[in-house]
Amino acid sequence: MQKKSRWFIVLFLLIAYGCLCGPTLYGGTREMNNVVSLDINSVKNQADLVLIGNLELITQLDEVMKKNRFYGKEMTLKFYRIKAVEILKGNLPAKCFLVVRTNVLSSEGKNPSIESLPYLLFLQEVKIDDESFLEGLVFYRLVGNWKGIISLDRTALECRAVDRVAKQYGVNIRERPEDFKEAMRYSLKEQETKVPKKDLHSGAFAVYKGLKLVGDVSQPTTNQTVSGAQQIQSSGKTNDLGTANQ
């Protein structure tokens, strides 16, 4: 009886350890492996690249990457082209792809349902093999799995991050996507360039304050500022940076 109890304890510890650590490709801090909470500041700080854009599933890997070394991994990995509309942090290489695991451990929840919709993406560079750097290929993963993909379309299937932000911070991204983008845009600009105190219009200021983003910012009392997202929409430009120079 005691022997069975010891084996049960050992098995429980192994399962708990696996949930905390996660696989190498999806490694991170314990904070990021928490399947429930979402620390928006931690997510953006861990990201090498933050952008607004969409993703396109790659079905024929050999046609894009000129090699068949990924065959056999297609059962557990999905590859996407990254199409950026606006880069908020970092630089997007010419040949870069998003890698999504389809068999992630429960510590990070199930893999996200990705559609042809706009997202705010928090990406972290990962290494897939030893040869990719020779060909100039760069691979990214979503920071914290579902935490690194925030839908900017209210019809999206992947809405865990949106729902968590609403529940945890009281910010409804579905109802105010432009305010959310402007608040994140300022937060990331302040983080990278240490810009001086700046006024945000009332909607973005409320989101910025609600998300507890770090920075020196105040709410204006006169004219509201025009968000960068509105400027992009008016220009009608979309840059497909993920497929350039291939």
Residue 169, Cα to own-chain centre: how many angstroms? 18
- pLDDT tens string for the chain (246 positions)? 555 455 555 444 444 444 443 333 444 443 444 567 899 999 999 999 999 999 999 988 777 776 666 666 666 889 999 999 999 999 999 989 999 988 876 667 889 999 999 999 999 999 887 777 768 889 999 999 999 999 999 999 999 999 999 999 999 999 999 999 999 999 988 665 555 566 788 899 999 999 998 655 566 654 443 333 333 333 333 333 333 333
Alpha-carbon distance 100 to 80, whole Å?
8
CB-based burial, 145-181: b 16+ in 10 Å, e otherwise = bbbbbbbbbeebebbbbbebbeeebebbbbebbbbbb
Name the β-bridge partners of 119. Answer: 53, 151
At 152 the pLDDT is 97
DSSP 3-state assignment of 150? strand
Q: Are 233 and 85 in contact (CB under 8 A)?
A: no
Note if the pTM is more than 0.75: no
Alpha-carbon distance 163 to 171, whole Å?
9
Question: To which residue do tokens 């192994």 refer?
Answer: 14
